[in-house]
Amino acid sequence: MFKFWQRNGKDLGVDLGTANTRIYTTEKGITIDEPTVVAVNTKTEQILAVGDEAKQMLGKTPPHILVTRPLQHGIISDYEVAEKLLRYFIDKVHDGGLSMLSRPRVIVGVPLNVTEVEAKAVEDAIIGAGAREVFIVQEPILAAIGGRMPIEDPVGNLLVDIGAGKTEIAVISLHGIVTWKSTPIAGEEMNKNIVQYAREVFNLFVGEAHAEYIKMKVGALVAGGEILQIPMRGRDVMSGLPKEVIITDAHIREALDRSVRTIIDHIKMTLEVTPPELTADIHERGMLLTGGGALISGLDRLIAQATDIPVRIADDPLSAVVRGTAVLLENSVLLHLVRLPSARQSIRS
């Protein structure tokens, strides 16, 4: 039956992230990779834009246009907007609409600390967006599968997934999570760190999108031989006029220091409660970094120095979760082993 629906409908793997949504189809691979952002006209309740187009409106709209992110820290915070965003993307995958025969089965990831009610909200939103059936899997499991970790073996696999709204650390063995920690300190918090630093040190108001751009350009967490510089543009706190200052990678290291130390502390806390046999495996095999935070220069070296454990960055760490769904779309046996029970059925019963 599973293969039948793969032939007649476009079954989907969905990475519903705080910052970006990615959708994989068995026919075309990753077909959607757009911001999890929606622009709404509050006068008419009409959806004006979704994804890339909506993100371009951030900070530039009149009062009656609200640009919103329907997920916070990986959890749906605005159910109606999330459902409309998903419907838009699913319709886009299916070239404008669904028929009864083409309604997809969907694999979607959820955070480790998701509640039953929050998981049900994800299922309901995807069913409401046109799916036939939903399979929920914990995101670190998906990221580990996408990063080619042997999660089915009786060995310790340590995964650190640094997304936009959360950082999740998980020790995985025999298809399941043995120990884990989660913190909201992640990519978006780092952007806010830079915004706050600019205000306190340079008396400059900057937007979070500009802060993120600077983070990725000169955010080297380990000092190198060359000093990296970039102009930071915003509004002067005192005069209210446009202002530009030149900042360096040293400024960004100082701005991000507290957040980076918090992530490293959570990795250490996870290791402290990991069974010794699995800790020995991890020390020998190392850990895997996934998510957008893995791309910050020098973070892998800082973590390795602090934990004395080898660290490697996944190939294309941004797409690790959705690539994990791709594997499960082709492997129904593994999907059965790692999926969570349906929250819709649990709450109904």
Binding residues: 18-20, 212-215, 292-295
Beta-carbon count within 10 A of 333 CB? 7
CA distances from 240 to 62, 193, 196, 204, 245 (A): 20, 21, 17, 9, 15
CA 349 – CA 347 distance, rounded (Å): 5
The rounded distance, in Å, linking the Cα atoms of 220 and 25 is 35
One-letter amino acid identity for 110? V
Q: Which of these, 8, 51, 17, lies nearest to 325 by C-alpha position?
A: 17
Annotated binding site for ATP: 18-20, 212-215, 292-295
Residues 6+ apart with CB under 8 A from 303: 160, 263, 264, 267, 287, 289, 309, 311
